[in-house]
Amino acid sequence: MELRKGPWTLEEDSLLIHYIACHGEGQWNLLAKSAGLKRTGKSCRLRWLNYLKPDVKRGNLTPEEQLLILELHSKWGNRLPILHSTLRFVTVVVFKFGVYKNTYRWARIAQHLPGRTDNEIKNYWRTRVQKKARQLNADANSALFRDAVRCYWMPRLLEKRSSPQTTQSPLHASAAAAKRTNDHVVHHPPNTPSKIQHQDFESSSTTASCSTTVLSQVVLPPACNMSELSRSSDDLNVVTFNPFSSGFNLDDRALGSASTLSGSDYGPVGMNNWSDIIVDDSLWCMDEFYDMFKSPALS
DNA sequence: AAACTGCTCAACCGCATTTGA
DNA sequence: TTCAAATGCGGTTGAGCAGTT
């Protein structure tokens, strides 16, 4: 049978939804055939888990979620999965010869962000976090970059979290989601089995409380005093902790690209509502780093 | 207005692991 | 115990969109 690839159509989506509503998920290859979908089982599984499943949360990641991702990635980012001692030995050997590739724990991180998929978190990391690391000519997995994240960006996220402005409106979230091109309306069948539950605002608040529990474990390095780090960017020039003091290499290229960026790349210009905040790049305010680097105090 | 550039994210691919006959 | 199929995971790709020139 000829297999279809590429974007899913509305028709395919409803076939998949109706089939799962009647028979449940699992046995994906069989499901694909039985539902009359010209897709691989893998493709069906991915479409369901990453997009169609009712509890998949749409819209931008909240500061809380971003914070959680940063913290959990710094915890588990490059760690190998839990291994038996013998397997660990084999893995170490293999790793030594460069065969083993870094094992990121996206799925594990996603477990702590209800409604968010590993794919989404992975995309966030690659497009936002790694981008910032590249701009600083740093390795996103390095201890140095991790410290920078903890000392400068996490406090900012915490600030955003505690700000009354950051109360997410479901309307905003859905509006943002609706802007996506592939985001067509999915109508779930009325007689959905109990294991398929529609996400509502209650479940969103559950997410928030869950995140808060974990967030309380966020540990900043000793040099990072929250009140110190919450100051204006000018004051940051004299912050004593400098994550880049030990061999950080911010080359001319990085500085050059910084100088070409407009003010709106950093500051809270035009930041009037939630959608501005959640996509606000000031959470990743780079000028502090550049200012700091250019500061005479460092030289 | 058109061309170009960069970004996002859904979907694919390959590989590892798990399952079950 | 073996092996094929199914499942899960992380890396990568490319279409579509928005912003810039």
In a domain, A290, yes or no: yes
CA of A54 to C1' of B3 (A): 41
Mean pLDDT in residue range A125-148: 78
In a domain, A175, yes or no: no
Query: Which residue has better confidence, A4 or A156?
Result: A4
Q: Which nucleotide is nearest to A44 (CA to C1')?
A: B11
Chain segment A21-53, per-residue pLDDT in tens: 999 988 999 999 999 999 999 999 999 999 999
**Average pLDDT score over chain A:** 58
Mean pLDDT in residue range A277-298: 43
In a domain, A180, yes or no: no
Contact between the CB of A262 and strand C at under 7 Å: yes
Question: How much of chain A, in percent, has pLDDT values that exceed 90?
Answer: 16
A117 and A230 inside one domain: yes
According to the model, what pLDDT value does residue A71 have? 83
Q: Token pair for residue A83?
A: 């291994």
A92 and A31 inside one domain: no
In a domain, A172, yes or no: no
In a domain, A177, yes or no: no
A105 and A122 inside one domain: yes
Chain segment A72-119, per-residue pLDDT in tens: 887 776 444 433 333 434 443 343 333 333 344 788 888 889 889 999
Predicted confidence band of residue A138 (pLDDT cuts 50, 70, 90): confident
Structural domain count, chain A: 2
According to the model, what pLDDT value does residue A1 have? 67
A141 and A219 inside one domain: yes
Task: Tell me which residue range forms the domain holding A282.
Answer: 59-166+192-298
In a domain, A182, yes or no: no
Kindly report the CATH number assigned to the domain that includes residue A38: 1.10.10.60
Chain segment A242-254, per-residue pLDDT in tens: 333 333 333 333 3
Question: How much of chain A, in percent, has pLDDT values that exceed 70?
Answer: 43
Of chain A residues 123-142, which have a beta carbon within 7 Å of strand C? 123, 126
CA of A156 to C1' of B3 (A): 38
A30 and A65 inside one domain: no
A108 and A249 inside one domain: yes
Nucleotides of B under 7 A from a protein CB: 7-14
A38 and A81 inside one domain: no
Q: Token pair for residue A191?
A: 């007689």
A220 and A160 inside one domain: yes
Q: Is the pLDDT of residue A197 over 70?
A: no
According to the model, what pLDDT value does residue A46 have? 93
Q: Which nucleotide is nearest to A27 (CA to C1')?
A: C6
Contact between the CB of A45 and strand C at under 7 Å: yes
A4 and A103 inside one domain: no
Distance CA A23, CA A31 (A): 9
Chain segment A215-236, per-residue pLDDT in tens: 333 344 443 433 333 332 322 2
Q: Which nucleotide is nearest to A281 (CA to C1')?
A: B7
| Best CA proximity match to A243, nearest among A156, A128, A136 | A136
Angle between the N-to-C axes of helices A201-215 and A63-76, in degrees from 0 to 180, rounded to the nearest 10? 40
CA of A102 to C1' of B18 (A): 21
Q: Is the pLDDT of residue A181 over 80?
A: no
CA of A85 to C1' of B8 (A): 41
According to the model, what pLDDT value does residue A76 have? 74
Q: Of the segments A107-116, A159-168, A190-199, which one has the largest average pLDDT value?
A: A107-116
CA of A249 to C1' of B5 (A): 27
CB neighbours (10 Å) of residue A181?
6
Residue A267: Cβ-neighbour burial (10 angstroms; 0-12, 13-18, 19+):
middle
Contact between the CB of A156 and strand C at under 7 Å: no
Nucleotides of C under 7 A from a protein CB: 5-12, 16-18, 20
CA of A239 to C1' of C9 (A): 41
Q: Is the pLDDT of residue A20 over 70?
A: yes
Contact between the CB of A48 and strand C at under 7 Å: no
In a domain, A186, yes or no: no
Distance CA A186, CA A18 (A): 11
A126 and A261 inside one domain: yes
A147 and A77 inside one domain: yes
A111 and A2 inside one domain: no
Contact between the CB of A119 and strand C at under 7 Å: yes
Within 8 A by CB and 6+ apart from A58, the residues are: A173, A174, A176, A177, A183
Contact between the CB of A41 and strand C at under 7 Å: yes
According to the model, what pLDDT value does residue A160 have? 66
CA of A265 to C1' of B1 (A): 27
In a domain, A174, yes or no: no
According to the model, what pLDDT value does residue A66 have? 86
